[in-house]
């Protein structure tokens, strides 16, 4: 039986792929709805400006920050802190996560200690990090690195563990030794999933930014947000949050591009 509305049929069936045009339409519908509700609440007078600024005031504040107040330097400093912390965390999380997922003995040794530290709030470690690293750049990078490491390592371990033992047994049958199985089978098989894990890890790194810049910062997006909070500059707070969100989307798209170009079969498998 022919469906009267094939468009609705496609978008309401679970796991059914949609065209790029439909996906873009859905995206812009969401964006328009978000700003429409925001505008209705603020321009309609339902929410006061001290709680939720009008959209145009946030855009004006963002323009002023970039043009008159050197906000580009703050964006650069915060981005360098996040990227440096992320790279340090990833350099440690990738090998440990791969070993935890591939070797049961490593998982037994590391699982409980990793989970123990993981549940300690990063903000609670700031006094120790100040004692160890001071209050400068290194302390901020350490906050990002620690928070991101424990987010990434368990995801990477799960990705590595998801590679079936049948693949490993087949490799042994074909004459591979243990080192070859690790370097030629397990790592390549896990690599696309690891890149996807790193994409999520990067998003986590940005969420720790304000915490990282909480102490003795004189530049950065987090510093701007905290400074605006003290002066009740709500529009500037939203401008800073909007900037972090846009940077996060930019990095997420970068990782998606790496997956699409580097591992096209992984993207197709995920779509299925």
* Locus of tokens 């950065």: 220
Instruction: Indicate whether 260 pLDDT > 80.
Output: yes
Least confident interval from 131-135, 207-211, 268-272 = 268-272
**How far apart, in whole angstroms, are the C-alpha atoms of residue 147 and residue 194?**
17
Please state whether the predicted TM-score (pTM) of the whole model is above 0.95. no
Least confident interval from 3-12, 48-57, 75-84, 127-136 = 3-12
Domains of the chain with bracketed CATH: 58-271 (1.10.3720.10)
Least confident interval from 35-44, 180-189, 220-229 = 180-189
pLDDT of residue 272: 44
pLDDT of residue 231: 85
Q: Identify whether the C-beta of residue 209 lies closer than 8 Å to the C-beta of residue 82.
A: yes
pLDDT digits (tens, 9 = 90+) for 206-232: 989 888 887 767 788 988 998 888 888
- As a whole-number percent, the residues of the chain with pLDDT over 70 amount to 91
Least confident interval from 152-166, 185-199, 213-227 = 213-227
Q: Identify whether the C-beta of residue 239 lies closer than 8 Å to the C-beta of residue 62.
A: yes
How large is the average pLDDT for residues 182-196? Answer: 85
pLDDT of residue 219: 84
**How far apart, in whole angstroms, are the C-alpha atoms of residue 16 and residue 14?**
5
Average pLDDT, the chain: 86
How large is the average pLDDT for residues 24-31? Answer: 87
Give the list of residues 6+ apart from residue 229 with CB closer than 8 angstroms, or none: 237
How large is the average pLDDT for residues 84-113? Answer: 93
- Residue 32, φ and ψ in degrees, nearest 5: -65, -40
Going by the DSSP 8-state scheme, the letter that residue 181 receives in this structure is I
């Amino acid at each position: 039986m022919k469906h009267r509305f094939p468009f609705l049929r496609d978008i309401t069936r679970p796991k059914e792929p949609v065209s790029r045009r439909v996906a873009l339409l859905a995206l812009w519908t969401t964006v328009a709805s978000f700003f429409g509700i925001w505008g209705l609440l603020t321009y309609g007078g339902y929410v006061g400006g001290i709680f939720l600024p009008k959209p145009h005031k946030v855009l004006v504040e963002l323009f002023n920050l970039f043009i008159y107040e050197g906000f580009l330097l703050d964006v650069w400093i915060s981005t360098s802190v996040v990227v440096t912390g992320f790279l340090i965390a990833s350099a440690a999380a990738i090998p440990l996560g791969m070993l935890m997922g591939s070797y049961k003995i490593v998982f037994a040794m590391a699982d409980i200690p990793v989970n123990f530290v993981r549940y300690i709030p990063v903000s609670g470690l700031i006094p120790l990090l100040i004692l160890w690293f001071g209050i400068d750049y290194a302390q901020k990078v350490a906050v990002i690195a620690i928070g991101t490491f424990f987010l990434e390592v368990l995801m990477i371990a799960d990705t590595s563990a998801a590679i079936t033992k049948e693949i490993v047994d087949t490799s042994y049958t074909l004459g591979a030794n243990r080192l070859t199985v690790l370097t030629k089978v397990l790592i390549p098989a896990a690599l696309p999933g690891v890149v996807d894990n790193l994409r999520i890890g990067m998003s986590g790194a940005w969420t720790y930014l304000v915490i990282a810049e909480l102490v003795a910062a004189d530049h950065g997006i987090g510093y701007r947000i905290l400074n605006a909070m003290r002066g009740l500059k709500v529009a500037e707070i939203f401008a800073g949050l909007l900037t972090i969100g846009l940077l996060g989307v930019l990095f997420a798209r970068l990782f998606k591009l790496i997956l699409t170009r580097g591992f096209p079969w992984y993207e197709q498998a995920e779509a299925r």
